[in-house]
Structure 1
Amino acid sequence: MTVALVTGATQGLGLALVEGLAQRLEPTDTVYLTGRDMNRVMTAVGSMPGGGAEVRGELLDVADPDAAAKLARQIHERHGGIDIVFGNAVMRVGPDDDPRVIADQYTEVNNFGTTRLLKAFAPLLNDNGRLLVVASSLGTLHHLAPVLHERFTKPSTLDEVDQQIALWRDAVKDGRAKAGAWPGFVNIPSKIGQVAAVRVLAEQRRESDAERGILISAVCPGMINTPTSALWWDVSTAPTPAQAATALLDLALNPVKPEHHGELVRAGEVLPFS
């Protein structure tokens, strides 16, 4: 029996990942559709077309410091482990949002929420498991001033990555980031932090994961035609969430390629971190 979980799954790419997993898996398998609003979670579960794996709704607000660990314990009690985890929860921002105002909530969801998910579910991975964090091509050091690179290459633990994110968050809030070398678009340091967290965890587990066939990676779905993306770019010709989900589902369900471990992967190819 395969057990899968998707965070941020009540709409867009997350919902498409749940539907795609359910369609590709068997009736004896389980896919957990999670989100921070239970009404939206159950509405999303009800929208599933049926057939394939069972889709179960669960409450998971990754901004809650205890929520990921609590759900991980519950899944461990029910199933003994987990096979596929997609970390897709994200706080979206628009062009009119003031980074100083949203910095706390933004990092709590996108960055600290990611590290909480990694800490909670990596120990539960079964042999041949997948732990995939949805990031972006913005999550590479090419988008960051060289003077800042070591902030994301030197950490060797998830806590150290979180410390760097906290320093950046505080600099955004008090204006030092705007006056310094940090990019004005908060997505860039945030996505780099997510990829750095994946790299740190994967490096810690590299040998044992290779022996057990486990893949831990960041994944880039590319541009997607969603209302949020449309606030920033012309996405009229971009893939739908269902189309964008295909390459991510392939990564989760196809045999592991060792070169993907710990890397940011887009359409099956590694995007170099630096």
Structure 2
Amino acid sequence: MPHHPRVAVVTGATQGLGLALVDGLAQRLQPGDTVYLTGRNYDHITNAIESLGSTAAEVHGEVLDVSHPHAAARFAAELAHRHSGVDIVINNAVMRVGPDDDPAAIVDEYTQINNFGTTRCLRSFFPLLRPGGRFLVIASSLGTLNYLAPVLWDRFDDLATLDDVDDQVAAWVEAVKDGSARGGAWPGFVNIPSKVGQVAAVRTLAAQRRDADADAEVLLAAVCPGMMNTPTSSAWWDVSDAPTPAQAAGAVLDLVFDPVKPEHYGRLVRSGEVLPWKPTDVA
């Protein structure tokens, strides 16, 4: 049977988990397949590609700044022209936050990458996904309503459109910037509402796409890779015994290459298990 070349895209792929995912994809895909290693800095992209050993699939570097309002759409148009579609998208682009960062000072840039970047990629790349495709958003176990006060649940639960998700994230951003979030029910750790917003985006698009994607054997899911031994994580916690990014990438890649499990669709998955969206859910 002839091999139909597959195309994969990984955002935020110049280091850490993103680079490990590119390496894993390129090792497990076949000759003739293409993996796009993307990031914001050309030199970092070049260095990342040079750090890879021999791979089965070809790895191509591409500058992609998901915080730019039109960058994902432009790259998606290029992919449609080059390949007519894509098979795997892993949305990994992220801005890290440190213990000493002032939330009000960083929240705009932070959400432009982590949240609005996610919804831009969902809007731009998902329509290109071919039958049997995978679209995974790297998130966190913090991205469930369990970590928000119940009074905030309605802001992210059962939203109708990705625009609604963006509106709720934008409202939270303004509350952080004007200081009202600090005196309200919002958690002080900006990572929590941001990750909840990412998972809400996946859930929202999945609610619209579920039947069509089931027929096409497409998987759309948020993924928690778990705690990793990285410099960013070590600023917050003792991660000396945590898996490396290469080790953590394994469970993510299993979702790419294993048959679709219907219970994973539109959900937050960690090590193959579904994490409940809120306490009343049954995983």
Query: Structure 1 residue aligned with 2:54, among 50, 56, 72?
Result: 50
1:253: how far off? 1.0
Query: Match for 2:275: what amino acid?
Result: L
Partner of 2:131: 127
Query: Structure 2 residue aligned with 1:226, among 223, 227, 230?
Result: 230
Partner of 1:212: 216
Partner of 2:141: 137
- Deviating 4+ runs (over 4 angstroms): none
Matched, 1:269 2:242: no
TM (norm. structure 1) is 0.99
Give the Cα–Cα distance (whole angstroms) in 1 for the partners of residues 158 and 83 of structure 2: 36
Give the Cα–Cα distance (whole angstroms) in 1 for the partners of residues 167 and 259 of structure 2: 35
Partner of 1:203: 207
Query: Structure 1 residue aligned with 2:94, among 90, 95, 103?
Result: 90
Identity of aligned residues (%): 66
Partner of 1:28: 32
Residue-by-residue CA offset, 1:42-73 (whole Å, 9 max, x unaligned): 11111110131000000000000000000001
- How many residue pairs match? The answer is 274
Query: Structure 2 residue aligned with 1:113, among 109, 117, 122?
Result: 117
Query: Match for 1:55: what amino acid?
Result: V
Contact 2:158 2:204 in 1 (8 A): no
Give the Cα–Cα distance (whole angstroms) in 1 for the partners of residues 218 and 169 of structure 2: 27
Query: Match for 1:180: what amino acid?
Result: G
Query: Structure 1 residue aligned with 2:254, among 250, 254, 274?
Result: 250
1:241: how far off? 0.2
Matched, 1:67 2:71: yes
Query: Match for 1:47: what amino acid?
Result: S
The structure carrying a bigger helix percent of its residues is 1
* Secondary structure of 1:217's aligned partner: strand
Partner of 2:193: 189
1:154: how far off? 3.8
Contact 2:230 2:239 in 1 (8 A): yes
Residue-by-residue CA offset, 1:143-190 (whole Å, 9 max, x unaligned): 000000000014210000000000000000010000000000000000
What stretches of structure 1 of length at least 5 have no aligned partner? none
Query: Structure 2 residue aligned with 1:40, among 38, 41, 44?
Result: 44
Partner of 1:166: 170
Matched, 1:18 2:15: no
Query: Structure 1 residue aligned with 2:6, among 2, 17, 21?
Result: 2
TM (norm. structure 2) is 0.96
Query: Match for 1:123: what amino acid?
Result: P
Give the Cα–Cα distance (whole angstroms) in 1 for the partners of residues 273 and 160 of structure 2: 25
* Secondary structure of 2:173's aligned partner: helix
Contact 2:95 2:113 in 1 (8 A): yes
Query: Match for 1:27: what amino acid?
Result: P
Query: Match for 1:5: what amino acid?
Result: V
